[in-house]
Amino acid sequence: MKQDTPTPPSLRATSPQAGEDALNIKNLHVSVEGAPTPPRAGGAPTTPSLDSARDTPPQAGGEILKGVTLRVAQGEVHALMGPNGSGKSTLAHVLLGHPRYKVTSGSITFKDQNVLSLTPEARAKLGLFLSFQYPMEVPGVSFTNFLRTAYNNTRREKDDPISAVDFVKMLREKAEMLGLKEEFFRRPVNEGFSGGEKKRSEIFQLAALEPSIAILDETDSGLDIDALRIVADGINKLRGQRGLESPRSGPGILLITHYQRILNYVQPDFVHVLVDGKIVASGDRRLAITLEEKGYGWVTSSPVAPRHPLLGEERRF
């Protein structure tokens, strides 16, 4: 009979906000629907396309996440790092209910609810937010109408929608806070936006929708240094903000990235390293700096690397 592994100290929420507003992921195992099947006589195994995710197709058996445990409390910033194909984007997709992935064991709870039993829409209403690696353009739909519809569906009751006047006033305040001009949210959603503008658009949506937990999936990818600073500045401004509907501090943030450069501007409370579907190391920002110097191979090969307790060693920065 399996025994539950205690949550390691480096993964426990330590902020004053810790409690029911913490996203709890425990021993999560995930495979991909339609994973490779054994070849028939004279045939070859088939693998579904994973064009919407950066993770490489799974090997035989299809398991991508292999026992991930993580706790993100409101007001905390957790950086999740790892090489391509390690499962970072898979975790992001699973958190918001992508139908391609199948949770085979483990749990995700938030605000005393079983997240895995909820639809993507219900998860958004509960307070979860996902920014995309590759934001889509939506021609003909104004940012204002798009965001107000999303806000009313996730933050308000059906019989108590926010008025157009009040919402535009709030958008102006959010835009000013993030250093954006009003014309930014008067345009169609992401239409004609540069790569940097699309990433700023994601941060603007985060500001407007005021979620409790934000998963930022490689928000720094493809950005030059100036755009990176602007996006990071927006994240920092949101960390301690209180929203119209949020009585507590800013959102908990799970910041998914390959590189530590964004962490030069966004100071994480915790850094975790995901390799081959497992969190193999946890620490503070110094862990990210060491990874930049030594590479991901150091985590799995070095006897002094901070190992995750689930692997049998409790070594942390």
Dist CA 317 CA 298 (whole Å): 14
Residue 11: pLDDT over 50: no
Q: What is 9-35+54-130+213-311's CATH topology? A: Rossmann fold (3.40.50)
Most confident among 28-37, 71-80, 305-314 (mean pLDDT): 71-80
Q: Out of 6-10, 86-90, 120-124, 266-270, pick the least confident.
A: 6-10
Residue 178: pLDDT over 80: yes
| 94 within 8 A of 217, measured Cβ to Cβ | no
Residue 303 has what pLDDT?
60
Question: What SS3 state is found at 194?
Answer: coil
Q: What angle do CA 24, 251, 76 make, to 5 degrees?
A: 65
Rounded alpha-carbon distances, angstroms, from residue 59 to 21, 36, 185, 273, 277: 35, 7, 43, 21, 12
Specify the higher pLDDT residue, 37 or 170: 170
pLDDT-derived band of residue 34, with 50, 70 and 90 as boundaries? Answer: low
pLDDT in tens, 109-168: 999 999 999 999 999 999 999 988 777 878 888 889 999 999 998 888 777 888 999 999
Residue 129 has what pLDDT?
94
- The structure's pTM equals 0.79
Other CB atoms within a 10 A radius of the CB of residue 163 amount to: 9
Query: In this structure, are strands 63-73 and 22-32 parallel, antiparallel, or unpaired?
Result: antiparallel
| 297 within 8 A of 86, measured Cβ to Cβ | no
- DSSP one-letter code for 180: -
Mean pLDDT across the stretch 190-211?
85
For residue 183, report the phi and psi dihedrals to the nearest 5 degrees: -60, -20
Residue 249 has what pLDDT?
66
301: tokens are 């090969």
Mean pLDDT of the chain: 78
Residue 104 has what pLDDT?
95
User: Among residues 79, 60, 47, 73, which one has the least CA distance to residue 260?
Assistant: 79
| 170 within 8 A of 151, measured Cβ to Cβ | no
The residue extents of the domains of the chain are: 9-35+54-130+213-311
Other CB atoms within a 10 A radius of the CB of residue 274 amount to: 25
Rounded alpha-carbon distances, angstroms, from residue 1 to 4, 33, 237, 245: 10, 27, 47, 44
294: tokens are 């030594």
Q: Out of 42-51, 75-84, 176-185, 282-291, pick the least confident.
A: 42-51
For 58-106, the DSSP string reads P-TT-EEEEEEEEEEETT-EEEEE--TTSSHHHHHHHHTT-TTEEEEEE
